[in-house]
Amino acid sequence: MTTSLSASRAVQTPPALTTRVRQSIGERIAPYFYIAPFFLIFAVFGLVPLLFTFYVALFDWNPIGEHVFIGFDNFSRLLADARFWNALKNTISIWVLSTVPQLVLALLLAHLLNHARLRLAVFFRMSMLVPYITSVAATTIVFAQMFDRDYGLLNWLLGLAGVEHIDFKSSVWGSHLLIAVMVAWRWFGYTTLLYLASLQAIPRAIYEAAAVDGAGGWKQFRHISLPSLRPVIVFTVVTSTIGGLQTFTEPLLVSRSQTCGAIRQCQTLTLFLYEQGFGQFQFGYGAAIGVALFVLVIVAATVNYLLSTRIRPER
């Protein structure tokens, strides 16, 4: 009897061990509950609309009438539509003109600010966020006046140099340049601050050691600053690609029309989608444009990510 009682007590799990097991399970599950709200909101407002867009693209979708299944006819029509290719060309052109100079100049300015000795440095750094918080409509009014054909500041300067006035809004490259300058001006300060914050996290001792070894400013930038900024460069390249390919507000406000001019000289893919979906009420065709834009963004972001990750830290 005594032997069996001792054996049963030996088999029982100690209370302290049970508590530790319960705490371990709770600690493992808790992080999933913390991030669950984000994924729930994303599923409702992001994933479900995305899947529904793919679904609508397979139909001749009348918002107040019948929904006729037509398979991939909307995509076949899209590939044969010259307006789609024109919008794609405009989107890529504006994206390149706005993104590449913005990232390069922001990187160089951040490097200079990191090594400069400025009074009121915090004030100047915070003032770089002004374009980011300024209304897009207000920005459009200012830049439209600056690029105006008859009374714009830029054409006035060109006139002093003996160059004829340029109608930026009516020409293809002129409208692309105008919109690209607006987009770059808006995001330039924000990108610069991202780079500057990352540069300030690099220990000064590394630059001092490089200077002692005879490395000049360019070598320090190339072999220390640039590789150390690799994660931030990847982030800004991918986000700028996504945002640049979805440019909508600036061309709409500049032209004040869904076609962005008589010859669709600055109509982007998002404007073309808006015109077909909410202007012509061809929801199925508009959804197909949205799917094409989604694929374009994924491909461009992936290519840029692969190219930007080739920047390797120096060993």
Q: What is the pLDDT of residues 94-126, one digit of tens each?
A: 999 999 999 999 998 888 888 777 777 777 777
Q: What is the pLDDT of residues 158-179, one digit of tens each?
A: 888 888 888 888 889 999 999 9
User: What does the pLDDT read at residue 6?
Assistant: 47
Q: DSSP per residue over 190-219, as a string?
A: HHHHHHHHHHHTS-HHHHHHHHHTT--HHH
SS3 content of the chain, % helix, strand, coil (to 5): 75, 0, 25
Q: Is the pLDDT of residue 5 over 50?
A: no
End-to-end C-alpha distance for the chain, whole angstroms:
71
Instruction: Report the distance separating Cα 299 and Cα 310, nearest Å.
Output: 17
CA-nearest of 171, 231, 188 to 98 is 188
Q: What is the pLDDT of residues 274-288, one digit of tens each?
A: 999 888 889 999 999
Span 23-46, average pLDDT: 84
Residue with tokens 């669950």: 36
Cα dist from 100 to 110, 120, 127, 184, 189, whole Å: 16, 30, 23, 9, 14
Mean pLDDT is lowest, of 10-14, 55-59, 186-190, 240-244, for 10-14
Residue 28, number of CB atoms within 10 A of its CB: 9
Q: What is the pLDDT of residues 257-267, one digit of tens each?
A: 888 888 889 99
User: What does the pLDDT read at residue 159?
Assistant: 86
CA-nearest of 297, 301, 293, 298 to 78 is 293
User: What does the pLDDT read at residue 32?
Assistant: 85
Q: Is the pLDDT of residue 183 over 60?
A: yes
